[in-house]
Amino acid sequence: MLMADPLDKALNAPLFRAPNASEVDYPAVVTRLKANTGPGASLTLRPPRSEGESLQANVRGGWSGTIFMDPATGEVLGRRAESGTVVGFLFTLHSSLLGGETGKAVLTLAAFAYVLMLVSGIYLWWPVRWSQAFTIRWTASRLRTWFDWHRVTGAVLGMLVLISVVSGAYMAWPPLAQSVTKLSGASLASPPAVVGGPPQAEAIGRAVDMASTAFPQAMVGYVQVPAKAHQPIRVRLRLPDDPHPNGLTSVWLHPDTTQILQINRWSELDPGTRAYAYIYPLHTGELWGWVWTVLTFFIGIALSAYAITGLWLWWRRR
């Protein structure tokens, strides 16, 4: 997924670009979305984060997918079903094995299996003579060379691969974060209960303005428009000190009056949820700039290579 998004934007520029757009007209956007999706769909709006970028609306309802829009007019630039493209299919495969919550649990079990394989691999690699600990015999037979490569690079890069695997499991399976919070003795963050709604199109723009007033320096990451009554509007913000690229600070607002009901600053969230601020960019390669991005790319290649060479070596030994 590290390279898929840039390639997707380059190959499908008309979906991601709205050159003449300036500010977001939230009432126009939400009105057009409700006309296209029906009243029962929940909407998560991703406003532009750079000049000339389109607005993306993630839709969950009778039809699920992403609608790309001109933020200033609400004009629909295109739409994609949730798994209707290569990128969408890869993301769903990567995040849940196409199996929803069951797939996420399977991914978590696979992450723990990798931990066991890493521990056993380190045990098998641990050298009697350290002078040969990092030797790869390139002139030996192909089997011997691949065995040395698998053993040595696995010992050297294993911990970095472990970071990628465990961080992915943490994001995929919410009970892990919930367990961290419970072990810390803190309470899980939860949205406020409201009476009213669902919100009208005009209320969304006012809600974003109210949230931005509370944090003038923050970037609007997402705007969640509930489909059902008795659910608040949620505006996710990225504060300057938040390492999460989408922001984890939440401002909850009443769907009718747009009064601020609750503010959850990212640094004051329960420990399990607050960890996402670091784990998400750690996993995606965005936490420490381009160096970590490049390293994350090679970690992904290494993980695939270990799976292939490990199976091949096992088969040859048979």
Q: Tokens for 123?
A: 């045990």
The whole-angstrom separation of Cα 253 and Cα 45 is 16
pLDDT at res. 2: 56
**Largest CA-CA distance found in the chain, in angstroms, rounded:** 74
pLDDT at res. 285: 87
The model's pLDDT over 10-44, given as tens digits with 9 standing for 90+, comes to: 888 899 998 877 789 999 999 999 998 877 889 99
Query: For residue 236, which of 212, 260, 261 has the smallest C-alpha distance?
Result: 212
Q: Helix, strand, or coil here: 12? A: coil
Query: For residue 60, which of 8, 100, 25, 11 has the smallest C-alpha distance?
Result: 100
Q: CB within 8 A of 26, min separation 6: which ones? A: 45, 201, 204, 205, 208, 223
Cβ atoms of residues 296 and 282 within 8 Å: no
Going residue by residue through the chain, which has 318 residues, state the pLDDT in tens, using 9 for 90 and above: 556 677 778 888 899 998 877 789 999 999 999 998 877 889 999 999 988 999 999 999 888 899 999 999 999 999 998 776 777 777 788 888 878 888 888 888 988 888 898 888 888 888 888 887 888 888 888 888 988 889 888 888 888 888 888 998 899 888 899 999 999 999 888 899 899 888 999 999 999 999 999 999 999 999 999 988 899 999 999 999 999 999 999 999 999 999 999 999 999 999 999 999 999 999 988 888 888 888 888 888 888 888 898 888 888 876
> How open is the CA angle 130-135-136, to the nearest 5 degrees?
160
pLDDT at res. 121: 87
What domains can be seen in the chain, in order of their start residue? 4-91 (no CATH), 97-186+280-317 (no CATH), 201-268 (3.10.450)
Question: Tokens 């048979």 identify what position?
Answer: 318
Which uninterrupted H or E stretch holds 290? Answer: helix 289-317
The model's pLDDT over 164-178, given as tens digits with 9 standing for 90+, comes to: 889 988 998 888 999
Give the dihedral sign, CA 282/180/191/217: negative
The sheet with strand 65-69 has its strands ordered as 76-81, 65-69, 55-60, 42-46, 219-225, 233-238, 249-253, 260-264
pLDDT at res. 22: 77
Cβ atoms of residues 232 and 250 within 8 Å: no
pLDDT at res. 1: 56
Q: 145 phi and psi, to 5 degrees?
A: -65, -45
What is the length of the chain? 318
Residue 71 to residues 47, 52, 122, 225, 247: CA-CA distances in angstroms?
7, 10, 53, 16, 20
The whole-angstrom separation of Cα 276 and Cα 182 is 16
Query: For residue 18, which of 61, 103, 28, 151 has the smallest C-alpha distance?
Result: 28
Which uninterrupted H or E stretch holds 212? Answer: helix 201-214
